Chains A and B, each alone.
Chain A
Amino acid sequence: MAVERFPVEAGHILMFARSIGDQNPIYADAEYAAGTEVGAIPAPPTFVQASAQFDPEYFLRPHPDRVWHGSGREATGMKIEPPAADAGGSSSGDAGAGRSMAGGLHAEQHYEYHRPLVAGDVLRATVRPGERWEKQGRSGKLSFSETITEYRDLDGNLVVTARSVGVGTEGPKKPEEGTEVG
């Protein structure tokens, strides 16, 4: 996701480390971190994903003035188009409905680290499309697309390059085909 300003903060790193079950003291103790080779609290390897918090338009976060697709009084706040008669779906909606709202499946994620990312860094993320390709799956055509996100510091130096591969499916969808966008 494109983000103008992603401040990498110690408290955010602590929360993120806890959320992946990482008890390494380097994520919690600035004094300890200062005495290590990195010299500061480093970001865990997948931390840049949390730049979503700083994307004002991020679609997988509820916005107070918009309809959210999760449940409240009803199972979803979205109006779901009834499935076409030939799609074989039920009136409660099929897996495809939720999937299209979630933006497809997350098939792969790759990071390249140009230097350690640490608390105190401020990043700017730019996004460009990568390659696209198709593959025949068990239940129809699979369309793969790459997204490349470059995270640069305030000096314009590249810190992390992220390459995400998403897959969209055609035809009936099976939960086993892959993992939802993470």
Chain B
Amino acid sequence: MAVSAASLSVGDSRELVLTEDLTRTQIVMYAGASGDYNPLHSDERYAKEVAGYPGVFAHGMLSMGMTGRVLTDWMGDGRLTKYGVRFVKQVWPGDALTATATVDAIREEDGEWFADLSVLTVNQNGEPVVTGSATARLDP
């Protein structure tokens, strides 16, 4: 289910609601799967009393992982050649996150076609939490 260069235009975009209400349990699931058990993400008491935060918050890598869905859902599985992000703002339990991917360029390189995309995930206030870019291999 790959995308062809012929069917794609610069400026095309896709939006995906990643979560309407990020739960603490989802953060715990990410800790368990990724192996990053930093108590800042699962231990409310530690996060507040020791680290001085209002509470636990999501791993940056959870936001990046969730954001990646807009790319793989659209560009197809196994088609990414690059994916990179900056972590702009923390993500908290209860946040609603929406990711948007936009085609910036479509190009041919050594007989293969690629799309360069920008990605942006915002929270319920419209504030960017993750910004980045990706490249996907296209069918001709």
A residues apposed to B, CB below 8 Å? 12, 15-16, 18-22, 24, 26, 36-38, 42, 44-46, 49-53, 55, 58, 60-62, 68-71, 75-76, 80, 92-95, 97-99, 102, 105-113, 116, 118, 163, 175-176, 178-182
Contact = CB atoms under 8 A, between A and B. Distances in A.
Given A19-B65, A108-B85, A182 B33 contact: no
Nearest to A118: B78
A95 B82 contact: no
Given A93-B50, A176-B89, A20 B73 contact: no
B113 interface: no
A106 B91 CA distance: 13
A24 to B, nearest CB: 7
B94 interface: no
Sorting the interface of chain B by its residue count into under 10, 10 to 19, 20 to 34 or 35 or more gives 35 or more
Interface string B39-64: 11111011101111110010111111
23 contacts: A19-B30, A20-B68, A22-B69, A37-B76, A44-B68, A44-B72, A45-B80, A46-B61, A52-B34, A58-B35, A60-B36, A61-B37, A76-B50, A94-B52, A99-B51, A106-B61, A109-B84, A113-B81, A116-B77, A178-B90, A179-B63, A180-B57, A182-B62
B78 A109 contact: no
Interface of B: 1-2, 18-19, 26, 29-30, 32-43, 45-47, 49-54, 57, 59-66, 68-69, 71-73, 76-78, 80-87, 89-91
Contacts of B47: 98
B62 A19 contact: yes
